[in-house]
Structure 1
Amino acid sequence: MAAEIEIREVWASNVVAEISLIHKFLQQFPIISMDTEFPGTVFKPSPLFKKLPAGDAAYAAMKRNVDALHLIQLGLTLHDAAGNLPELGGRRCAWEFNFADFDSNTDPHNPESLSLLARQGVDFARNRLEGVDSRSFALLFKISGLGLRRRRLTWVTFHGAYDLGFMVKILTGRRLPGTLDDFLALLRVHLGPSMYDVKPVARALELHGGLERIARSLKVERAAGRSHQAGSDSLLTMQVFVELIKRFGEENILEEFNYVFFGLTEASRS
């Protein structure tokens, strides 16, 4: 029987220790599935964006929101192409970083999104008091080997434009660049040359909808945690990615879908 899966909660008090653990596992588990939770979107696409190509318009809308918002959670699941996970104390594990940057009382947010996250167990007050400062995270991320291409890692998202937008914002400590091309260039600098969005891969197999729906279509059950929590969703992203590898073929995915992001570098169709 497979070992139980633990989603390891990361706060300011243990972030150094947990990043050190992640560092030790990178060589054996060089694929990282990720997910973020953030306070919804607060800006709709401007009518001016309609004059832009589809990818540029989607990027402009994403940039406007990411620039205005703060990240709440980041989930990271380290694994290999077969879906094997690191083990600690007899348990397989994934990580969930809780950030202190967002203040639900004063910062911009979408009330419906915040209510959903609260129902799913996100504790905004605790995050504010005990969470990781994004500047500290960025420094630890870079020196750990996770960033700046110090290791050949593969990153995986699901419908990941906003996930990647928040990562670039945190790692640079700046607003996102003005153009999609410059954004993609920064992704390569900070996260490396191997990046996959599961949604376009699923669509190539005529699987549509959100992460949960595609997982059900593949008969994949969430292995741990709850939806709309970043650690659990990064784990489910991994599970779906591994199942798609089985069905589509690893070489086909690696050759055809690198840096293909739903809505940015691929047409948005539901």
Structure 2
Amino acid sequence: WEAPRGASHDVQHEAMRYNVDLLQPIQLGLAIAGADGVLRGAWTFHLQFNKDIDLHSEASLAFLSRAGIDFARQATEGIDAAVLGRWLAHSTLTRDPSTVMWVTFAGLYDTGYLLKMLTGRPLPPDPRDFEASLTSFCPFRCELRHWLPHGSLASLARRYGLTRTGIAHT
């Protein structure tokens, strides 16, 4: 289910919650930079996902397949999302949240899946409870979409003279 463009915050939350609770995350990407802005590392965790069994969006699968995701390998070698979630919930990324700034681009679903992994529970139905729970793990967040309501992350990077490294979603 997709919220209509321009839907209220509550409707967007309900659509995200419905989808995140129903579906499994496929991958988690993290890039870590210091306070000086220097990149310390970037990782993509390919999570256990079997396209023949797990519910999914055909459009998302097609997009990720074009980006090079090996779904056959992911079904047998992917990381258990619950295990990774427990690890993250006890890491300094969430245990000492006062030192971490989380930056997303159109990250509503990303933060929804992250919270699902961290708690191992369905998402709170009330948007305020969702926000409070997410804030307990990630109190400092910056949503880049606010600076670019239309366009892509690549166009935002170009605006600031940044060059992309690597392939998206791999």
Superposed pair shares fold, TM > 0.5: yes
Give 3-state SS (helix, strand or coil) of 2:94's partner.
coil
How many residues align? The count is 169
Residue in 1 aligned with 2:59?
112
Structure 2: how far apart are the matches of 1:82 and 1:214?
A: 20
Q: 1:221 to 1:150 in 2, by over 3 A?
A: closer
Q: Which has the higher contact order (CA 8 A, sep 6+)?
A: 1
Q: Which amino acid in the other structure matches residue 79 of structure 2?
A: V
Structure 1: how far apart are the matches of 2:10 and 2:131?
A: 12
Identical amino acids, percent of aligned pairs: 37
Structure 2: how far apart are the matches of 1:200 and 1:94?
A: 24
Asked whether 1:63 is paired with 2:17, we answer yes
**C-alpha deviation, 1:228, in angstroms:** 2.6
After superposing on structure 2, the runs of 4+ consecutive aligned residues of structure 1 that deviate more than 3 Å are 148-151
**C-alpha deviation, 1:185, in angstroms:** 0.3
Asked whether 1:77 is paired with 2:77, we answer no
Residue in 2 aligned with 1:220?
162
Structure 2: how far apart are the matches of 1:136 and 1:189?
A: 20
* Alignment equivalent of 2:131, drawn from 171, 179, 184: 184
Structure 2: how far apart are the matches of 1:182 and 1:149?
A: 21
Q: 1:115 to 1:177 in 2, by over 3 A?
A: same
Q: Which amino acid in the other structure matches residue 55 of structure 1?
A: H
Residue in 2 aligned with 1:259?
none
Q: Which amino acid in the other structure matches residue 156 of structure 1?
A: V
Mapping for residues 1-20 of structure 1, pairs under 5 Å: none
- For structure 2, the residue ranges without an aligned partner over 5 or more in a row are none
TM-score w.r.t. structure 2 length?
0.89
Give 3-state SS (helix, strand or coil) of 1:146's partner.
helix
The answer to whether the 8 A contact 2:30-2:44 is kept is yes
* Alignment equivalent of 1:211, drawn from 153, 157, 166: 153
Task: From the CA coordinates, give the structure whose radius of gyration is larger.
Answer: 1
The answer to whether the 8 A contact 1:153-1:194 is kept is yes
- For structure 1, the residue ranges without an aligned partner over 5 or more in a row are 1-42, 87-92, 230-270
